[in-house]
Amino acid sequence: MMELVCPAGTPAALRAAVDAGAHTVYCGFADETNARNFPGLNFSREELAEGVAYARARGARVLVAINTFPRAGGQALWHRAVADAHQAGAHAVILADPGLIAHAAEAHPDLRLHLSVQAAAANPDAINLYAEAFGIRRVVLPRVLTVEEITAINREIDIETEVFVFGGLCVMAEGRCSLSSWATGLSPNMNGVCSPASHVAYEEVAGNNEARLGGYLIHRTPKGAPVPYPTLCKGCFTAPATRTGPAQTGHIFEDPVSLDATELIPKLQKAGVTALKIEGRQRSRAYVAQVVRAFRAAVEAAEQGAPMPAGLLAKLTEGQAATTGAYAKTWR
C-alpha cells in the first residue's frame, strides 16, 4: 500500500492523524528550524518524544521537518534540532539545506534522511546528487512536475519518492521563493514563514473586506464573501496595459485554490511513488482527521485496484476550488 504521510502542527493533531489511519506523521519544532514556524504551532522536545511513543504504540512513524536554511553564524540551532529529533526516536528527518544535510550525514550516520520539498530537487540529476553525496533515502518532489515527469524521474533514481496530494499549493519552486521577504522581510527559507500572520491585517473598508500583507492590499472582497488569507502568490494584482496587451487584474500567479490529486493516486502509484503527502500542519486536528480518513480509504482502494472514492473531500475544499496542479501539464 502507498504510504500516507500526514501533517501535525500540534500533539492533538498528531494523535488525530494516527487514529485516523496515518502511516506516518510529520511535524516540526517550535522555532525557525521548520517551514511552518507559525504562532501557537509545533512541538517541544517533550511533546515530540510523547508523539513518537503514541505513534509507535499504534504502528505509525514520525518524521521531523527541519527544512529551513540555517542562518549563517547560527547553525547550532539546526544541528541541535537534528540531534534532538534523532534522540526522540524520529523515523527520519526531512532536510533541505545541503550544509545541514552534510552535517546530519556525518554526525548521525544511522539517522534516515529525507530530502524536503524545500530543496526543490526537480530532476534526476539533483536527486541523484543528494543521494550519492549524503545517502538521502527519500525525496519529496517539488509541486512543479507532471505525472509523466515523475514517472521518468523514478526510472532514473534509486531512492523513494513522496509527492503532495492534498492541501495548500506552492506555485513557485519551493525553497526558491523570496516573495515573502520582498514584502515583509521574513521568508520561508530563513524564518520558516510565508506571508506571515504578523504582517497580515484584515480591515473593513467601505463595505469591502480588505486583506493586506506588509501594508500592501492583496485581496478585496465584498463584505460577507470569503476573505482569503493574503498569501502573496495567491493574491490579486494588476498588470497595467502594455503595447501589446490590455491591463489585467486578477490572480496573476494562482487562484486561491488548493491541491487535490485524489483522482491521480492510481497513476502516481503506477509512476512508482512510495508515499503520498498531505499538506497542512497549520490546520486543525478535525481537518487532519477528516483528510487522513479519506486518503486512507483512497490508498486502500488503489491497492485493490478499485476506483478512487469520489467527492470524499468536497466539504473540505468547499468555498475553494481544487486543482490537480502541475501534475496535469495544462496547469503550466
CA-wise closest residue to 155 among 137, 128, 175, 181: 128
- Select 293 or 302, whichever has its Cβ closest to another protein: 293
What is the rounded CA–CA span in Å between residue 2 and residue 154?
15
State yes or no: 27 annotated in a binding site: no
Cβ–Cβ under 8 Å, residues 60 and 90: no
User: Of the candidates 26, 29, 69, 295, which one interacts with another protein according to CB under 8 A?
Assistant: 69
- Per-residue x/- marks for another protein, 261-290, CB under 8 A? ---------------------xxxxxx---
Residues 223-262 that bind another protein (CB under 8 A): 224-229, 233, 235-240, 242-245, 248-249, 252-254
- Select 289 or 302, whichever has its Cβ closest to another protein: 289
| DSSP symbol at 208 | E
| DSSP symbol at 43 | B
CA-wise closest residue to 325 among 116, 143, 119, 141: 143
> Shortest approach of another protein to residue 82 CB, angstroms?
12
C-alpha cell of 309?
A: 472514492
CA-wise closest residue to 92 among 117, 111, 106: 111
Instruction: State yes or no: residue 181 binds another protein (CB under 8 A).
Output: yes
Residues paired with 115 in a beta bridge: 95, 139
User: Of the candidates 7, 28, 51, 175, which one interacts with another protein according to CB under 8 A?
Assistant: 175
User: Of the candidates 218, 268, 276, 278, which one interacts with another protein according to CB under 8 A?
Assistant: 218
- Per-residue x/- marks for another protein, 96-115, CB under 8 A? xxxxx-xx------------
- Select 87 or 238, whichever has its Cβ closest to another protein: 238
Instruction: State yes or no: residue 39 binds another protein (CB under 8 A).
Output: yes
Instruction: State yes or no: residue 54 binds another protein (CB under 8 A).
Output: no
DSSP symbols for 79-145: HHHHHHHHHHT-SEEEE--HHHHHHHHHH-TTS-EEE-GGG---SHHHHHHHHHHH---EEEPPTT-
| Pairing mode of beta strands 237-239, 248-250 | antiparallel
C-alpha cell of 66?
A: 527541519
Instruction: State yes or no: residue 10 binds another protein (CB under 8 A).
Output: yes
Identity of the amino acid at 134: F
Instruction: State yes or no: residue 190 binds another protein (CB under 8 A).
Output: yes
From 54-62, 69-77, 261-269, 302-310, give the range in contact with another protein by CB under 8 A.
69-77
- Select 108 or 176, whichever has its Cβ closest to another protein: 176
C-alpha cell of 324?
A: 490537480
Instruction: State yes or no: residue 26 binds another protein (CB under 8 A).
Output: no
Instruction: State yes or no: residue 34 binds another protein (CB under 8 A).
Output: no
Q: Is 291 helix (H, G, I), strand (E, B) or coil?
A: helix
From 17-25, 49-57, 181-189, 260-268, give the range in contact with another protein by CB under 8 A.
181-189
Torsion region of 319: left, alpha or beta (phi above 0 gives left; psi -120 to 50 gives alpha): left
Instruction: State yes or no: residue 202 binds another protein (CB under 8 A).
Output: yes
| DSSP symbol at 147 | H
Cα 162-164-169 angle, rounded to 5 deg: 150
What is the rounded CA–CA span in Å between residue 104 and residue 271?
30
User: Of the candidates 121, 140, 159, 165, which one interacts with another protein according to CB under 8 A?
Assistant: 121
- Select 159 or 316, whichever has its Cβ closest to another protein: 316
State yes or no: 236 annotated in a binding site: no
User: Of the candidates 19, 31, 49, 124, which one interacts with another protein according to CB under 8 A?
Assistant: 124
Q: Which residues are annotated as a binding site for [4Fe-4S] cluster?
A: 170, 177, 194, 233
Q: Which residues are annotated as a binding site?
A: 170, 177, 194, 233
